[in-house]
């Protein structure tokens, strides 16, 4: 009895001593032992590790080989819309350097790559009447190069670069938009579907509608926040997604055997006072007006979230006016104690991701497969290769995903680091850098150099998670004190 009991007791003590020395990635700010302690373990065998970019942000070659003009060409060429009046005319020059991009991915041991197709490069005037051979060739080359390197393409059909000709018809406000998008997507399934089995229709409908057709800070720069245009553009987008999904489902899925979905962005809203119902409801409304707006029609009821209908319908009837932000009826802010980044809107709060993943699971079903199609952090332009803040960010966020998978049984299938390399950060131009690789935009050759975060991401991918640090029990002094552990590879 005693001998059998003793080893168990010993191992318990060992575990306890490890538990007394938890590791925190952000010890100053997030140091709650229950919530923030680092969790060691690995992801399921078939977990997908990816990294992402988008066409306008990296390709350049804005008018090469017959490419049509898109709304970001137009918007960025207009003075005053972009920091420093930057534009994507050359960007990372990936139109000419795609083979280098493939080798960057390959060198990290990453097996999935999420990129987007430029609609106006493939169909210069937006319609299928006049496809571009050169555009087709470019994406065929990229896809083939990826496959030759054992990298699976994850293709976004629309990452914000609408053909200008379609915008001139009204863009997302045009009721013929769903059909135009459907034709374009069908063309892509036909051309690439023999090699692409992972499709995303739209990147971040919330951004397309609220920033593009509401606040007007993003192309096409329409100020429709105080009327119904935000809601109309969202509605047409949802109809376009549904049509394209049906087209894939009925005409392509059988032979091509792929999956098709949509990328939705959402901030995590934490109630200010979790014991106060008003506060809890407000946090939920924040979620419903951001994720629910698009996720509820697609994954739940076929209609907008109830609370959204209530608020918007009521205000439309009462005052005859809509205003997206006022319709939400919430006050939200970021805690000043949270760490900062190179972007004003972005602060790392790793536990927020775990909470958000759980919220999605509770809202849309226990087994709903979740693909994280972007996650990342910016640094200011003064950034160099020694990007500790990005290393910390990836460690902590991926660790929270691991907790969601292993401790909370959330069905997360994929994690994607945004971005493969520094690129054109929309209205911020080149003033903010999100890359795992540094790009020198002052050099015409646009050389790419791995940052520390690329090395760290490669290691997490190779380990498929986080291996227990090797603690020597014979010689405990060799165990680094948790406070001294650098936030990177050295803890292993």
d(CA 8, CA 26): 33
Using the minimum distance from each CB to ligand GBH, give the nearer residue, 173 or 377.
Answer: 377
Q: For ligand GBH, which residue of 93, 161, 204, 387 counts as binding (CB under 6 A)?
A: 204
Please report how close the Cβ of residue 216 comes to ligand GBH at its closest, in angstroms.
Answer: 11
Please report which residue ranges of 149-228 form alpha helices under DSSP H: 164-168, 177-192, 205-206
Number of residues that bind ligand GBH (CB under 6 A): 14
Sole window of 60-68, 135-143, 200-208, 442-450 interacting with ligand GBH (rule: CB under 6 A): 200-208
Torsion, CA 185, CA 186, CA 187, CA 193, rounded to 10: 90
DSSP state of 433: E
Using the minimum distance from each CB to ligand GBH, give the nearer residue, 40 or 338.
Answer: 338
Residue 84, judged by CB atoms within 10 A of its CB (0-12, 13-18, 19+), counts as exposed
Considering the rule CB under 6 A, would residue 333 count as an interface residue with ligand GBH?
A: no
| Residues of span 260-299 touching ligand GBH by CB under 6 A | 265
H or E segment to which residue 404 belongs: helix 388-406
Q: For ligand GBH, which residue of 48, 50, 51, 54 counts as binding (CB under 6 A)?
A: 54
N-term to C-term CA, the chain: 37
| Residues of span 214-233 touching ligand GBH by CB under 6 A | 217
Contacts with ligand GBH, 21-50, as mask; x by CB under 6 A? ------------------------------
Q: Are 224 and 175 in contact (CB under 8 A)?
A: no
Please report which residue ranges of 169-305 form alpha helices under DSSP H: 177-192, 205-206, 229-247, 253-256, 277-287, 293-295
Please report how close the Cβ of residue 62 comes to ligand GBH at its closest, in angstroms.
Answer: 17
Nearest to 455 by CA among 373, 403, 377, 394: 394
Considering the rule CB under 6 A, would residue 379 count as an interface residue with ligand GBH?
A: no
Q: For ligand GBH, which residue of 434, 438, 441, 457 counts as binding (CB under 6 A)?
A: 434
Sorted by sequence, the CB contacts under 8 Å of residue 404 that are 6+ apart come out as: 353, 354, 357, 358, 410, 412
Active site (annotated) includes residue 374: yes
- Name 417's bridge partners: 51
Using the minimum distance from each CB to ligand GBH, give the nearer residue, 24 or 397.
Answer: 397
Considering the rule CB under 6 A, would residue 345 count as an interface residue with ligand GBH?
A: yes
Please report how close the Cβ of residue 53 comes to ligand GBH at its closest, in angstroms.
Answer: 8
Tell me which residues touch ligand GBH (CB under 6 A): 54, 57, 203-204, 207, 211, 217, 265, 345, 374, 418, 425, 427, 434
**Which positions are annotated as active-site residues?**
374
């Amino acid at each position: 009895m005693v001998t059998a009991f003793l080893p168990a007791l010993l191992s318990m003590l060992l575990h306890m001593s490890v538990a007394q020395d938890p590791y925190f990635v952000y010890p100053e700010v997030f140091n709650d032992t229950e919530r923030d302690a680092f969790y060691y373990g690995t992801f399921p065998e078939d977990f997908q590790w990816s990294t992402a970019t988008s066409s306008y942000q990296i390709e350049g070659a804005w008018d090469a080989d017959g490419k049509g003009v898109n709304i970001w060409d137009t918007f960025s060429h207009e003075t005053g819309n972009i920091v420093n009046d930057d534009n994507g005319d050359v960007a990372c020059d990936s139109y000419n350097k795609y083979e280098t991009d493939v080798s960057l991915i390959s060198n990290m041991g990453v097996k999935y790559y999420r990129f987007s197709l430029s609609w106006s490069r493939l169909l210069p005037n937006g319609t299928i009447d006049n496809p571009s051979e050169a555009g087709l060739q470019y994406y065929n080359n990229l896809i083939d190069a990826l496959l030759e390197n054992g990298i699976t393409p994850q293709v976004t059909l629309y990452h914000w670069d609408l053909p200008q000709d379609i915008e001139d018809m009204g863009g997302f406000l045009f009721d013929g938009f769903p059909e135009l998008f459907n034709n374009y997507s069908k063309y892509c399934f036909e051309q690439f579907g023999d090699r692409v089995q992972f499709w995303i229709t739209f990147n971040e409908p919330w951004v397309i509608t609220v920033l593009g057709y509401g606040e007007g800070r993003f192309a096409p720069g329409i100020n429709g926040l105080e009327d119904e245009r935000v809601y109309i553009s969202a509605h047409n987008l949802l109809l376009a997604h549904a049509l394209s999904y049906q087209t894939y489902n009925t005409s392509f899925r059988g032979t091509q055997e792929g999956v098709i979905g949509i990328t939705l962005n959402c901030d995590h809203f934490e109630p200010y006072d979790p014991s106060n119902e008003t506060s809890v409801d407000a946090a939920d409304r924040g979620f419903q007006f951001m994720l629910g707006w698009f996720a509820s029609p697609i994954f739940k009821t076929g209609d907008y979230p109830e609370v959204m209908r209530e608020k918007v319908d009521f205000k439309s009837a009462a005052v005859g006016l809509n205003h997206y932000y006022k319709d939400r009826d919430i006050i939200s802010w970021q805690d000043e104690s949270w760490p900062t980044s190179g972007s004003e809107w972005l602060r790392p709060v790793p536990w927020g991701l775990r909470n958000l993943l759980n919220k999605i699971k509770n809202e849309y079903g226990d087994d709903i497969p979740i693909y994280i199609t972007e996650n990342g952090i910016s640094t200011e332009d003064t950034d160099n290769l020694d990007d500790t803040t990005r290393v910390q960010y990836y460690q902590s966020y991926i660790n929270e995903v691991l907790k969601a998978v292993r401790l909370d049984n959330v069905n997360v299938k994929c994690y994607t680091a945004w971005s493969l390399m520094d690129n054109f950060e929309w209205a911020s131009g080149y003033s903010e850098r999100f890359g795992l690789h540094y790009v020198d935009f002052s050099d015409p050759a646009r050389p790419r150099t791995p940052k520390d975060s690329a090395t760290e991401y490669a290691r997490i991918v190779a380990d498929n998670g986080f291996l227990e640090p090797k603690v020597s029990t014979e010689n405990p002094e060799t165990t680094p004190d948790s406070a001294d552990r650098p936030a990177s590879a050295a803890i292993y």
